[in-house]
Amino acid sequence: MAVSDSLRATISRAKRNDLIFVALGIAALLFAASTFVALFLDMVGDGLSRLNPSFFTEFASRRAERAGILAAWVGTFAVMLVTALVAVPIGVASGIYLEEYAPKNKLTALIEININNLAGVPSIVYGLLALGLFVHTFGLGASVQTAGLTLALLILPVVIVATREAIRAVPGSIREAAYALGATRWQMVSDHVLPYSLPGILTGVIIGLSRAIGETAPIVTIGAVTFIAFLPPSPVTSSPPFLSFDWLASPFTAMPIQIFNWTSRPEEAFQANASAAALVLVVMTLLMNAIAIWLRYRLRRNLNW
């Protein structure tokens, strides 16, 4: 009897600690979540009235009620496209090389450390690098291509690390199975490792892009235009060869720059525009994260190891 009494006391003491931690955890979570919700609601309250179709189809204007984000969202879209097209092949190839091919030596270790460090470099530094390298040395101008390349550099470490993590999750037994059947390294990678790690790689790419989409500092540094009343030239033309890459060299603006520009205006009406644009940007980011989660869920259903 006495033994079970003391056991019960011990158990209830231990359970009390459980409760205390749960309470602390919920408090911390509520603090973070409520901060975000408050910000979001504030943005909605300020900007919702400005969210109408013409807000998306109008260029910026000196008159707040007529101003829109057309140039900004098209610019952001164009820049993201370049970023993805540059960062994904380079990042995935680097990740594959480092994980599957690179010999395990000091040089490889050094490269790995540097990639991890790159992820921690402040984004303004990338802006300065791009200003010196792309704008001045290569003469690419304050264009879509420069911004795309800059943001690609910025998210490259994220893509590489995500690729390596995804590749590493493919079990060694699958690799050995392929090798044992007589596959070469490249057959093993392209037939097995790459397809099976695709969900993880895609997730990493989208997370990287959703980070890039909100970046302001590097784009400002390379000299993006803050007030623009035209779109980049269309990639599709009416005369042969029907494709044009002139849009790459076009000046541009982007969502964060538009927001930044409006918030620095003294007029109260532009603050509402800024809130509305910020709302659009947040929704775009959330949407991308949602796609990442969905993709991961969809594609990983088949991979249960």
> What are the residues binding another protein (CB under 8 A)?
103-104, 171, 173-174, 176-184, 187, 191-192, 196, 302-305
Three-class SS state of 251: strand
Buried b / exposed e over 92-114, threshold 16 CB at 10 Å, is bebbbbbbbeeeeeeeeeeeeee
Least Å distance between CB 187 and another protein? 6
The secondary structure of 7-44 as a DSSP string is: HHHHHHHHHHHHHHHHHHHHHHHHHHHHHHHHHHHHHH
> 6: which 2 tokens?
């003391």
Least Å distance between CB 198 and another protein? 11
Comparing CB distances to another protein, the nearer of 175 and 211 is 175
For residue 292, give the nearest of 227, 195, 207, 165 by alpha carbon: 207
Q: Residue 75 in contact with residue 146, Cβ under 8 Å?
A: no
Least Å distance between CB 165 and another protein? 18
Comparing CB distances to another protein, the nearer of 99 and 215 is 99
For residue 261, give the nearest of 278, 286, 248 by alpha carbon: 278
Least Å distance between CB 183 and another protein? 5
Region of residue 183 (phi > 0: left; psi between -120 and 50: alpha; otherwise: beta): beta
Least Å distance between CB 94 and another protein? 21
Residues in the chain: 305
Least Å distance between CB 185 and another protein? 9
DSSP assignment letter at 232:
P
Comparing CB distances to another protein, the nearer of 42 and 191 is 191
Comparing CB distances to another protein, the nearer of 4 and 173 is 173
Comparing CB distances to another protein, the nearer of 138 and 186 is 186
